[in-house]
């Protein structure tokens, strides 16, 4: 086969425009459309002055800078220096900026100043998809994933190791100061670099010691007994790669089904917490999804990590069915309180031998409040063949203590035993798991770039916004116009 002629020095009489080099269905065009559709009010929410400042040197247009960041997040380019470089030599970036080349400082200043208010963009993606009826709001799935903090494991200390480090640093400072005093250089204008570093480290260690729980400062806020000196909000989390300093990133998704065979999912709620445990997150994530999408989704799929009586009861109260494995300790004791049948009308229980236990009042201890039910007459129990197995209390007979969530948990157990619940639960894994795989492997979020929980939340919000934009782009590229006017 003959070779094509190749000439790198070829000059063009009529060179193509940048616009001609970007295909019509390219994601950069979609990002530009998304950004260009932002109204003045949206820019104000982002804390951006869309017309620039009246005085001073001309600045880069915020539309250009925001487009670069969004497209960068969508394509796994999240560092300012890589974005700077992309703005010099990559056609989609050159097209997005109108052939301007903001440097990494400009890009960083824009992101640093506005990233915490960019959550509005995430809401906009969800409301757009909902308004266009692209999302199936009959069901949603929630899960969390552990993401590495921008900090090394070796920088995590407990109180004893912090004290040892402090002693070492103090010794090093004394030694450096002694060397400086003994020198012939006289008074130096500023601290030598090594000494300044050690003093900064001493300050960080002292601050970290203050933030660790102790006898004088008990662990009232469940602060970690260890602290990372690089990112003090990061907690040790168990991952497949072992224990690492990280965060627990949460997401709620609903399925997407659009014309042209586009399927997938859309994130409707997101958060980052420094608790490895998911159990306290179910209601909060459900509420957030409702606030963002404007719809109360009737069915929520969650794994066993979210199991908590309070949340099962709250979701039931809100009229939302939760599909989640029952983690209450199973028992097959024939006279366990679960074997007693509750009658809501009379607020009483009926025992396996048909005797009634009536409500007698509230009982509370340090841990919880419970409703107490007693058999009407102790003699009934004494004469029962189950006496000795069901109860041994001669004077009072059998009593039941029903916690505030027992009814909800019992109802949940019955529901989870149905085929319908089991079938619904099988949808959970394929609905939520691809999200984390895509965010980590395709958007490059194995590790957060920022530090501190507030900034890490902002970064996660940008990641889920980028994920939603990718989903909407797949719809857009089929030729379906996107209506960027969500209420
Ligand atoms: S001991 Fe009392 S509560 Fe238990 S099964 Fe017999 S009658 Fe019912």
Q: Which secondary-structure segment (H or E) carries 250?
A: strand 242-258
Do 272 and 247 form a contact (C-beta atoms < 8 A)? yes
Residue 386 Cβ inside 6 Å of ligand 1? The answer reads yes
Using most ligand atoms within 8 A of CB, pick from 334, 352, 390 the residue to mutate for ligand 1: 390
Dihedrals phi, psi of 300, to nearest 5 degrees: -120, 130
Q: Is residue 440 part of a domain?
A: yes
Main-chain phi, psi angles of 238, to 5 degrees: -85, 125
Q: What is the pLDDT of residue 329?
A: 63
What count of other Cβ atoms lies within 10 Å of the Cβ of residue 398? 25
Let me know if residue 315 belongs to a domain.
Answer: yes
**Is residue 353 lining ligand 1, measured as CB closer than 6 Å?**
yes
* pLDDT of residue 309 exceeding 60: yes
Q: Output the domain CATH number for residue 469.
A: 3.30.420.10
Contact 95, 68 (CB under 8 A): no
CA 483 to chain CA mean position, Å: 28
Q: Are 395 and 299 in contact (CB under 8 A)?
A: no
* Pocket flag, ligand 1, residue 335 (CB < 6 Å): yes
Averaged pLDDT for residues 43-47 = 90
pLDDT for residue 273: 94
Indicate whether 303 and 345 sit together in one domain.
no
Q: How many CB atoms lie within 10 A of CB 43?
A: 19
Q: Which is the closest atom of ligand 1 to the Cα of 391?
A: 1
Q: Give DSSP secondary structure letters for 14-71.
A: SPPPHHHHS-TT-HHHHHHHHHHT--HHHHHHTT--TT--SSSSPPPPHHHHHHHHHH
The string of pLDDT tens digits covering residues 265-280 is: 999 999 999 988 898 8
Residue 304 is assigned to a structural domain of this protein: yes
| Confidence class for position 186, pLDDT limits 50, 70, 90 | low
Question: Region 355-378: what's the mean pLDDT?
Answer: 87
438-454: average pLDDT: 95
When mean pLDDT is compared across 35-39, 85-89, 344-348, 427-431, the lowest value belongs to 344-348
- Do 29 and 113 lie in one domain? The reply is yes
Domain for residue 482, yes or no? no
Which atom of ligand 1 is least distant from the CA of 375?
A: 3
Cα(360) to ligand 1 centroid in Å equals: 17
Q: Do 188 and 140 sit in the same domain of this protein? A: no
pLDDT at 182: 60
Same domain, 43 and 68: yes
**What's the pLDDT tens digit per position in 315-363?**
999 999 999 998 776 677 899 988 898 888 999 999 999 999 999 998 8
Distance 333 CA to ligand 1 centre (A): 13
State if residue 337 touches ligand 1 by the CB under 6 angstroms criterion. Answer: no
- Residues 150 and 448: beta-carbon distance below 8 Å: yes
Same domain, 212 and 188: yes
- According to DSSP, the residues that pair with 266 across neighbouring strands are 254
Cβ atoms within 10 Å of 359's Cβ, excluding its own: 15
In a domain, 407, yes or no: no
Is residue 166 in a domain?
yes
Which ligand 1 atom is the nearest neighbour of the CA of 354? 8
Q: What total of structural domains would you count in the chain? A: 4
Average pLDDT, the chain: 90
Q: How many angstroms separate the alpha carbon of residue 421 from the centre of ligand 1?
A: 33
Q: Output the CA 399–ligand 1 centroid distance in Å.
A: 9
Residue minimizing CA distance to atom 2 of ligand 1: 381
261: confidence class by pLDDT, cuts 50, 70, 90 = confident
What's the gap in Å between 326 CA and the centre of ligand 1?
A: 27
pLDDT of residue 75: 96
Cα–Cα distance measured from residue 102 to residue 465, given in angstroms and rounded to the nearest whole number? 23
- Looking at ligand 1, which residue's alpha carbon is closest to its atom 5? 353
Are residues 165 and 261 located together in one domain of the fold? no
Confidence class of residue 200 from pLDDT cuts 50, 70 and 90? Answer: confident
> How far apart are the CA of 172 and the centre of ligand 1, in A?
74
Query: pLDDT category, 448, cuts 50, 70, 90?
Result: very high
What pLDDT score does 348 carry? 93
Domain's final residue, options 381, 397, 413: 397
Q: What is the pLDDT of residue 188?
A: 57
pLDDT (average), residues 404-427 = 92
pLDDT of 50 reads 81
Q: Do residue 74 and residue 144 come from a single domain?
A: no
> Residue with the nearest Cα to atom 1 of ligand 1?
381
Q: What percent of the chain has pLDDT over 90?
A: 62
Nearest in space to 65 (alpha carbons), one of 37, 90, 101, 119: 101
**Spatial separation of the C-alpha atoms in residues 78 and 95, rounded to whole Å:** 18
Return d(Cα 192, Cα 166) in angstroms, integer.
Answer: 20
Residue of minimum CA distance from atom 7 in ligand 1: 381
**Is 390 close to ligand 1, i.e. is its CB under 6 Å away?**
yes
CA atoms in the 13 A half-sphere facing the CB of 396:
11
Q: Is the pLDDT of residue 384 over 80?
A: yes
What pLDDT shows up at residue 219?
A: 55
* Cα R_g (the chain), whole angstroms: 30
Q: What domain range is 88 assigned to?
A: 18-117
Q: Say yes or no: CB of residue 380 within 6 Å of ligand 1.
A: yes
Residue 266 lies in a domain: yes
pLDDT digits (tens, 9 = 90+) for 6-17: 899 988 889 899
Same domain, 305 and 454: yes
- Per-residue pLDDT tens digits for 143-185: 999 999 999 999 998 888 888 888 888 888 888 887 777 655 5
Ligand 1 atom having least distance to the Cα of 385? 6
Split at pLDDT 50, 70, 90, the class of 194 is confident
Predicted confidence (pLDDT) per residue in 417-426, tens digit? 999 999 999 9
Q: Using 50, 70 and 90 to split pLDDT, how confident is the model at 84?
A: very high
Asked whether residue 139 falls in the same domain as residue 264, the answer is yes
Q: Is the pLDDT score of 291 beyond 80?
A: yes
Residues 239, 145 share a domain: yes
Residues 30 and 110 in one domain: yes
Q: Are residues 91 and 35 in the same domain?
A: yes
Last residue of a domain, one of 92, 117, 142: 117
Final residue of a structural domain among 364, 381, 397? 397
- Give the distance (Å) from ligand 1 centre to CA of residue 426: 40
Query: By the 8 A CB rule, do 175 and 247 touch?
Result: no
Mutate to test the pocket of ligand 1, among 336, 337, 354, 391 (most ligand atoms within 8 A of CB): 391
Confirm whether 355 is domain-assigned.
yes
- How far does Cα 191 stand from its chain's mean position? 42
pLDDT at 18: 92
């Amino acid at each position: 086969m003959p070779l094509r002629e190749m000439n790198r020095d070829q000059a063009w009489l009529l060179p193509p425009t940048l616009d001609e080099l970007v295909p019509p269905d390219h994601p950069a065009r979609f990002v530009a459309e998304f950004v260009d559709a932002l109204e003045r009010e949206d820019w104000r929410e982002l804390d951006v002055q869309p017309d620039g400042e009246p005085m001073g040197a001309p600045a880069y247009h915020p539309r250009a800078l925001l487009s670069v960041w969004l497209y960068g997040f969508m394509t796994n380019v999240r560092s300012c220096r890589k974005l700077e470089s992309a703005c010099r030599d990559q056609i989609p970036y050159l097209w997005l900026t109108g052939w301007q080349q903001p440097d990494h400082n400009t890009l960083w200043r824009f992101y640093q100043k506005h990233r915490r208010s960019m959550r509005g963009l995430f809401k906009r993606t969800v409301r757009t998809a909902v308004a266009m009826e692209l999302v199936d709001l009959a069901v949603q799935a929630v899960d969390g994933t552990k993401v590495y903090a921008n900090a090394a494991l070796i920088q995590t200390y407990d109180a004893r190791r912090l004290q040892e480090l402090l002693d070492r640093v103090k010794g090093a400072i004394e030694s450096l100061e002694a060397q400086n005093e003994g020198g012939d250089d006289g008074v130096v204008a500023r601290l030598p670099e090594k000494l300044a570093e050690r003093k900064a480290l001493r300050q960080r260690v002292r601050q970290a010691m203050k933030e660790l729980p102790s006898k004088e400062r008990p662990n009232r806020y469940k602060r970690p007994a260890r602290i990372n000196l690089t990112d003090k909000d990061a907690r040790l989390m168990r991952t497949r790669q072992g224990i690492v300093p990280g965060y627990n990133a949460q997401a709620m998704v609903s399925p997407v089904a659009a014309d042209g065979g586009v399927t997938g999912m859309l994130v409707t709620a997101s958060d980052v917490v420094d608790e490895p445990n998911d159990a306290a997150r179910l209601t909060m994530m459900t509420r957030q999804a409702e606030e963002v999408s404007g719809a109360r989704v009737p069915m929520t799929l969650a794994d066993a990590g979210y199991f908590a009586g309070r949340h099962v009861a709250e979701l039931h109260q809100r009229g939302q069915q939760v599909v989640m494995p029952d983690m209450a300790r199973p028992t097959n004791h024939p006279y366990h309180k679960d074997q007693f049948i509750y009658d809501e009308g009379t607020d009483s229980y009926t025992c396996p031998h048909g005797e009634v236990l009536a409500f007698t009042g509230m009982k509370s201890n340090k841990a919880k409040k419970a409703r107490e039910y007693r058999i009407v007459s102790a003699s009934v129990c004494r004469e029962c063949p189950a006496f000795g197995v069901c109860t041994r209390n001669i004077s009072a007979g059998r009593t039941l203590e029903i916690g505030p969530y027992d009814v909800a948990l019992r109802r949940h157990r019955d529901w989870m035993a149905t085929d319908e619940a089991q079938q619904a639960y099988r949808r959970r894994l394929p609905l939520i798991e691809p999200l984390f795989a895509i965010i980590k492997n395709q958007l490059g979020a194995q590790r957060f770039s920022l530090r501190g929980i507030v900034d890490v939340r902002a970064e996660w919000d940008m990641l889920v916004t980028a994920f939603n934009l990718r989903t909407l782009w797949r719809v857009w590229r089929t030729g379906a116009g996107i209506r960027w006017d969500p209420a």
